[in-house]
Structure 1
């Protein structure tokens, strides 16, 4: 597999853009202390890179080393959406709480059909809510597509739309 590596059931192209996205994902999910550690994590995902390429990628992404609360130095990249201060990875409880808060504030309705959920939000809020859903890394969600006031969620389970819609509605009501 030279042009695309298999990552589970997902094909990952061997492109600079795909590599950058994967680096950002890794740095956002777990503390990475060195380039060699990052290279190993990328290799585990089927992306083989040289140290020179990795160094260039980190520079292009604006990655810096930051000190965590416990004094460790780890790589971090600026967040998307204009917040340019590099942050340490968010813990699972922080992601869940953020998802709960945003669902309560932004979710107007959630309607399921087979493996899809159509989520309605106030105008301009769909991409913000979809981004929070993506960052929350809910295993049942295969992906999100956002417009201005609508998010389409795709469930991994062919009949999982209703389960996802119910979960989102419970989050919005503070029950989950």
Structure 2
């Protein structure tokens, strides 16, 4: 697994799971078939600037830094201005083309934003397929994305 993909996965994990220590990351990734060391996780945590916040169950858990939690629209707008190539819709599908290496980040930002129109995303290297709830949602979502450009 490439570093960029691993970082994205770690970002998703801290939003979905209660992860209290580095070994929790290692265990979760091993269950998913990804062999990784605690030392690599330690470096990733520093690079991602993950922080520890109080957990509801007591103790502390890893979380994204505040900037990453609150500036999704700003990051999405910046990424769209920097990497956008094209957008098209067909029924409930929206297909966004980006410069190579940017689609995975775009898909993650879209899913993190939790837009009501979006059912889910599939991201590759330069393409994001957004599955919307219906055709009207796809058209609204396309207009929303175009407004970022």
Contact 1:110 1:118 (C-alpha < 8 Å) held by counterparts? yes
Compare CA radii of gyration and give the structure with the larger one: 1
User: How far has the Cα of 1:118 moved from its partner?
Assistant: 0.7
Partner of 1:24: 14
SS at structure 1 position matched to 2:136 = coil
Structure 2 unpaired stretches of 5+: 1-9, 27-44
SS at structure 2 position matched to 1:160 = helix
RMSD after superposition: 3.5
Partner of 2:107: 130
The answer on 1:110 being equivalent to 2:87 is yes
Superposed CA offset, 1:125-152 (max 9, x none): 2112112212222222111111221110
TM-score, normalised relative to structure 1: 0.51
SS at structure 1 position matched to 2:145 = helix
The answer on 1:144 being equivalent to 2:121 is yes
In 1, Cα distance between the equivalents of 2:13 and 2:113? Answer: 17
User: How far has the Cα of 1:167 moved from its partner?
Assistant: 1.0
Partner of 1:95: 72
TM-score, normalised relative to structure 2: 0.59
Q: Which has a greater percent of helix? A: 2
Displacement over 4 Å in runs of 4+: 20-23, 62-65
User: How far has the Cα of 1:155 moved from its partner?
Assistant: 0.7
In 1, Cα distance between the equivalents of 2:53 and 2:11? Answer: 23
Contact 1:119 1:150 (C-alpha < 8 Å) held by counterparts? yes
Structure 1 unpaired stretches of 5+: 1-19, 28-37, 39-53, 78-85
| Count, aligned residues | 114
Higher relative contact order (CA 8 A, sep 6+): 2
In 1, Cα distance between the equivalents of 2:139 and 2:65? Answer: 34
In 1, Cα distance between the equivalents of 2:77 and 2:114? Answer: 13
